[in-house]
Amino acid sequence: MDKEKSDFAKFKMPDMIVRVIDHHDPTMNVHTVQTTGAKTNTSDVSYFTDGSTSNNLINGRDATSRTFWDGDALVVQTDMKTAKNEDEQIEDRYELSDDGSTLTTTSHVVTSKGDVTMKLVCSKEKVGG
């Protein structure tokens, strides 16, 4: 995570986010490790880039997502419930830089309490020697 370029709006900036994406069209698996203070959370979700719906468990809650291409951006629209059992809609836009070294994920979250837009910028790490 590039903290200088990321923006978590009114939420606390995590200390670290590592995201591994394994994409074999139409399946995309996303493994995320996020650390804030002494707390570390992990998540593993799967999406289908052909517009099919997928079901995942996010923060212990059922989530249904539909994923599709919008030009060069991959859009993931997710419907789920908040911890207080209120409706929550999330739209994530995954955009890769032209050189493939930077992934920007813009997340727009809508609940009955309002909406917020956040941005996560990650730089690709070299694997191996």
Q: For residue 78, what are its two tokens?
A: 């997710």
Which domain covers residue 56, as residue numbers?
Answer: 16-123
Q: Above 70 in pLDDT, residue 122? A: yes
Tell me the helix, strand and coil percentages in the chain, rounded to 5: 0, 65, 35
Digit-coded pLDDT (tens) for 50-107 = 999 999 998 889 999 999 999 999 999 999 998 889 999 999 999 999 999 999 999 9
Question: Is 61 contained in some domain?
Answer: yes
Question: Is 129 contained in some domain?
Answer: no
Question: Is 6 contained in some domain?
Answer: no
CB 93 within 8 A of CB 78: no
What φ, ψ does residue 15 adopt, rounded to 5°?
A: -75, -35
- The single-letter code of the amino acid at 83 is A
Question: Is 7 contained in some domain?
Answer: no
Within a 10 A sphere around the Cβ of 53, how many other Cβ atoms? 12
DSSP 7: B
Question: Is 11 contained in some domain?
Answer: no
Digit-coded pLDDT (tens) for 7-30 = 999 889 999 999 999 999 999 999
What is the domain count for the chain? 1
Q: What is the pLDDT of residue 17?
A: 94
Question: Is 5 contained in some domain?
Answer: no
Question: Is 1 contained in some domain?
Answer: no
Measured CA angle at 38 (ends 33, 40), to 5 deg: 20
Closest of 127, 106, 104, 109 to residue 2, by C-alpha: 104
Rounded to 10 degrees, what is the CA torsion of 8, 9, 12, 16?
10
Q: What is the pLDDT of residue 81?
A: 93
CATH code assigned at 89 = 2.40.128.20
Digit-coded pLDDT (tens) for 31-53 = 999 999 999 999 999 999 999 99
Place of tokens 């707390």: 39
Higher pLDDT, 104 or 124: 104
Question: Is 104 contained in some domain?
Answer: yes
